[in-house]
Each structure stands twice: as C-alpha cells, then as structure tokens.
A and B are shown apart, each in its own frame.
Chain A
Amino acid sequence: MSESVIPTTAVEISRAVRAGELSAREVLEVHLSVIDGREGEINAFNLVLADEARIAADAVDRRVADGGDPGLLAGVPLAVKDNLCTRGIPTTCSSRILEGWRPPYDATVVSRVSAAGAISVGKTNLDEFAMGSSTENSAFGPTRNPRDISRVPGGSSGGSAAAVAAGFAPISLGSDTGGSIRQPAALCGVVGVKPTYGLVSRYGLIAFASSLDQVGPFSTTVADSALLLEAIAGHDPLDSTSIPDADTGAARSLLSVLHDGVAGLRVGLVTELMGEGIAPDVAARVRQAAEALAAAGAEVGEVSIPALSYGLSAYYLIAPAEASSNLARYDGVRYGMRVDADTTAQMNTATRTAGFGAEVKRRIMLGTYALSAGYYDAYYGKALKVRTLICRDFAAAYQNFDVLLTPTSPTTAFRFGEKTADPLSMYLNDICTIPTNLAGHPAMSLPFGAGADGMPVGVQLMAPALGEATMFRAAAVLEAAAPDLSEALQ
C-alpha cells in the first residue's frame, strides 16, 4: 500500500470505493499517515478522530461487501470545522469557553456527509467563534499555511483549508460569514465555496452572525466541491431559514454542468475591487483569469457596483451586532466553562471574562455599542439600509452579467503577527468577500497561479442567489486554464 496508488480527489476515491477497487480503510490509513507526518507543524486540527474514523471506514467497507449503497462520498476522508456540532465529540469553536463540551446532537451537514459515507478524520482549528482572517485568534494556537509555514493560512476556516492543502483530507467543511471559507481557500491554494444563504442547513453550526453565516466545502478540485455541496445542500426543517427544495433544484445539480463551458456567458470584472487596496500581482492574476474566460467564449466586461465601497463598514457593524446577541448564550449556566461566583450575574461576567479571547471580546464590545440606545439608528440601523443598497446594486449588475469576477483576497498569505496589532488592517482582508454575505449570494474562490512571492492567488466568482450552477461552469473553465500554483508571477 503506497500513497501513489490512492487517488487524491473525492470523486475518484468514492468511485473506487463504491466499485470495490479500494477499501475505505486503506484510503483512511494513508491519510492518517499524512496527518501523522505533518500535523505537528501545521496544527490544522483541534482533534484528530483516528479511532472513530477507522470504525466508520470499516462500516463503509462492510456496506460495499454486502452490496449495499455506501453513499456518494463513500470512503472519502473529510475534515470538519470545529464550530459544527458533532454528537458526543468535543466541539470548541477554538474557544476556552466551550473547551470539553460534547454536543448532544449532530449538525445537519455532519449527519448528511456521514450518511453519504464520508469519513470524518477530525475537527479543524479556526479563529475563535469564526472571528478572524488568519486563525491567529484560536485559543489553541494558530494553524500554519502548508505552502509556507511562516505564513497564515487565512481564516476563519484556516484549519479546514490547511487540512485540504496539506493532503490530510481531500475535502473539508467550513463556514463563511464574511469570507471565512473563500479567503483561507485563496491563501492556501485550494477551492472554497460559500453557497447561497439558505441552500445549506445552519442547524448545528454554532452561530456567529445568523443572517450571514453559511456552511460550505473546501477541496482541491472544482468537481470535488460540486460533489460535497450536492451532498450537503437541501431543505432542512430544523433550520427555519432553509430554502424549500422546490426552489433550489438547479443549484443542487452541479456535477452535471461542469463540462458545459462558458460560451456566451456574460462575465463582469468588478471595478471597485480591482483598484486601490488590491496588490498588483493579485489584480494581474484576476485579469489573466478574465482573459481565460474570454478565450473560452465568455463575454467579459467591466461593471461598477458603487455600494460595494460601503460593504466593509456595514459588515463590521452588522456582524458584531449579531455576534454580541448570539454570544450572550455563553453565560456559564448550561454548557461549557463556569467560573464560580457569589451571584449569577457575577458568575456570568467572570465566566465570559475568562472564557472569551481578545478578538471575541472586541467584537462583542463593538456590537453591543452599535446596538446600544442612542447609537442604534446611527450605526446598526444605517448599516441595514446600506445592505439594501448593496443588494440593489448587485441586482443592477446581474441585469447585464451572469457572474462576476474579483480577487478573493487583496493579497497573498501574509506572515504571522503582521496584522494582529491593528484590527482594521486585518478586517480589510475581507473587502472582496463581504458583499456576497450581505446580499446572501453564492461565491467561490479557486486558485489561479501564484503571486510575485510564489504564494497562491485566489480568484473569486460571484453569482446571484441560487446561481451556483452558472458559477461552477465558469469555475471549471478557470480551473482548466489556471497556471500552475508553483508558477510565480513574473
């Protein structure tokens, strides 16, 4: 059994396992040995589930042997962001306040990948409560970028992105509130997708900002993200914001459109996200991606979306406001950490003070301030109105374009500590990814060569609500045209 005989993609692994050509167990053992070899320096995982994974893999192999259907992700190792609840298995959000907590239920996405035969190999590291863009805010130490361990993997789903980039698992699950799947995907040189709000269930995803959060896939190929998204998408009665299946058919049928090409597809290069603040090498790669789409028959043009310039400000009022409300539940009463005190109010305060890290406290403070009497209208109320402007401007752009193309992140992966002292500079990382969360639209990042420093560059495709199929068509064309990741921009 050598690594070379094991396919590297979920599509190939599941096909081989279903056909009985490979056992889920041998696929798993190869991946566990890769984890053993490199997890020490990467720190992608809060918890590796080797024993549980072996039991699950053997169960898949028995199902294959018995002639049963082992599922569309049969035997595919998968890493799960540690803000997705796993029954009986510690789920920490990389926060001291939830250390040791074992959820009494599975997130719907976790149940779905498990039912589809995927083998969960571990819970991945993140910025505490998904608040951050570098995984430096984890209470359990940062994750390192597998392509250069002196650099951050991005965040907040840095562990899930690094796990795929390091070959620990071909696919993983993350969550994206303002770019937390797409930005780490870009920085680690993998594919990451934020689906349309409501396409994937949020049940069991520990809430950060409920009107923005969405679960989505990481992978090394566009087809693997299509496969994983098909497996997790669909209505869930346990999530009241989940869209009925009758409305999402096309958005759940993705593998079948990957060879459809982009002839006649109207692609808009977004002016506001190609100028100031975007590194020249990143912008050059995005232009190169636009040329590749044009060469494949797409009609490429420039489009202005003026309200995008307010996206960052609106997001950093709305998301902290929702977070300050969502995180009120960590009060030491029902789960997680408790710091004892004489009264319940003192216990609440002592627990939260000891349990939350600096960035989480900063956002709770910001959100509490934005929602407080006298400031609500000026900040939170205004931000909600700006959200309307962003939705309107997107709608106008999608009158003339089918998909939009932008950078995913303004720069390639930066070094540890470079942005921790200045929160605003860290927040500026999210400038290209935030607008789609505010609008509820789908977007994805895929690697398109490297920047001047040899680190991966991610390009972002955006589409209107439930436009996943069109977005994946364009992604498949870009993937085929992408320069090698080892090819630095000259």
Chain B
Amino acid sequence: MSKVALLARLELTDAELDTYTDQLAAIIDHAADVAALDLADVPPTAHPLPIENVLRPDVVTPSVDRDEVLSQAPSVEDRRFRVPAILGEEP
C-alpha cells in the first residue's frame, strides 16, 4: 500500500494505511468473481460507443483567456505557472 500511495502522490498515516488496506482488501475480494472469469476470447471494451478520432479544420480560433486562467493559479511568474525546484530531487 505504501508503494501505491507513492505512485498516487498521497502521504498516508499508518492508521490510514491500515484502514485502506482492510477496506481495499474487501473490495478486491468482491472483485474476485471478475478476476476468476476465463475471458481469454473476449475483447475488452474501453468505451461504450464506437468512437473515432475527431479532427477540426486547422484554423486558429480563440481559446480560453490566458490572464483569466493565470488569475486562478497558486503562483505565477512572467505569465507562466510558477513551481518549486523540479531538478535534483527524488522521483
């Protein structure tokens, strides 16, 4: 569970890890009926409808206002999103 929390970028307390471990085990147990099925010949359905890639004419159209977007950011510099250091750190 600690590995999963790391992948999900969540920091869980020991108590939370215990609770989630039990609860997720119950849910995964319930899903055992699905895991047990032999579905080798069944294709997966990722999406309920047959959809195709959608293209539009290659013409410039107005987009969401940049200043309005940046006005909602926690930190901005030079009309860009500002974040703490990203180099030389653990993944």
Contact = CB atoms under 8 A, between A and B. Distances in A.
B69 A312 contact: no
B72 A101 contact: yes
B39 interface: yes
Given A384-B45, A423-B27, A343 B11 contact: no
B14 interface: no
A353 interface: yes
B83 A333 contact: yes
A233 to B, nearest CB: 15
A391 B10 contact: no
B79 interface: no
Nearest to A198: B49
B51 A241 contact: yes
Interface magnitude class on chain A: 35 or more
B35 A379 contact: yes
Given A335-B73, A352-B10, A378-B35, A104 B64 contact: yes
B58 interface: no
A80 interface: no
A272 to B, nearest CB: 13
A389 B42 contact: yes
Q: Is the interface of B mostly helix, strand, loop or mixed?
A: loop
A365 B74 contact: no
Interface in A181-211: 197-198, 211
A337 interface: yes
Given A105-B64, A211-B48, A333-B83, A362 B72 contact: no
A368 B30 CA distance: 17
A372 interface: yes
Interface magnitude class on chain B: 35 or more
Nearest to A425: B26
B51 A240 contact: yes
A386 B72 contact: no
Given A317-B34, A382-B37, A440-B48, A365 B64 contact: no
B27 A424 contact: yes
A427 interface: yes
Given A101-B72, A347-B83, A382 B89 contact: no
A365 B83 contact: no
B78 interface: no
Given A344-B84, A344-B89, A347-B84, 20 more contacts: A102-B72, A104-B64, A211-B47, A240-B53, A312-B30, A335-B72, A340-B84, A343-B89, A344-B86, A345-B89, A345-B91, A346-B89, A347-B83, A348-B9, A364-B10, A383-B31, A384-B45, A385-B43, A386-B39, A391-B45
Interface of B: 1, 3-5, 7-12, 16, 20, 23-24, 26-28, 30-31, 33-35, 37, 39, 42-49, 51, 53-54, 56, 64-65, 68-69, 71-75, 81, 83-86, 89-91
